Amino acid sequence: AQSVAQPEDQVNVAEGNPLTVKCTYSVSGNPYLFWYVQYPNRGLQFLLKYITGDNLVKGSYGFEAEFNKSQTSFHLKKPSALVSDSALYFCAVRDFGQNFVFGPGTRLSVLP
């Protein structure tokens, strides 16, 4: 069965510094991996996804993610964090039955 882990409940970073939100996964077969962001009292918004090809995937709002097959990881990154990036971030994997499996979420706080 597919599973996703986000080892950090909370990540704090200073504005202007690089940020990383970690995700590891377990799937059988080829992984289809996604990152979503949730702002307070809102739905989840799609950031980026990995299907195949280049291991570095670029997405919305300057975010990117690096797929590492040997480490079964898909970490979300941004070179320079903004206060407005503060939100809840979810990593997800989609299984063959079309259903998504989400990680527990990581709360990112960017401090001014």
* Site residues (vs another protein, CB under 8 A): 9, 32, 34, 36, 41-46, 49, 51, 90, 94-96, 98-100, 102-105
Pick 13 or 37: Cβ nearer another protein = 37
- DSSP, collapsed to helix, strand or coil, labels residue 15 as coil
Least Å distance, CB 67 to another protein, is 13
Least Å distance, CB 104 to another protein, is 4
Q: Which residue has the tokens 């996703």?
A: 4
Pick 15 or 22: Cβ nearer another protein = 22
91's tokens: 């990593």
Least Å distance, CB 19 to another protein, is 20
If you ran DSSP here, which 8-state letter would residue 43 be given? -
Q: By C-alpha distance, which of 29, 14, 42, 27 is closest to 91? A: 27
The per-residue DSSP string of 63-83 comes to: -EEEEETTTTEEEEEESS--G
Pick 85 or 103: Cβ nearer another protein = 103
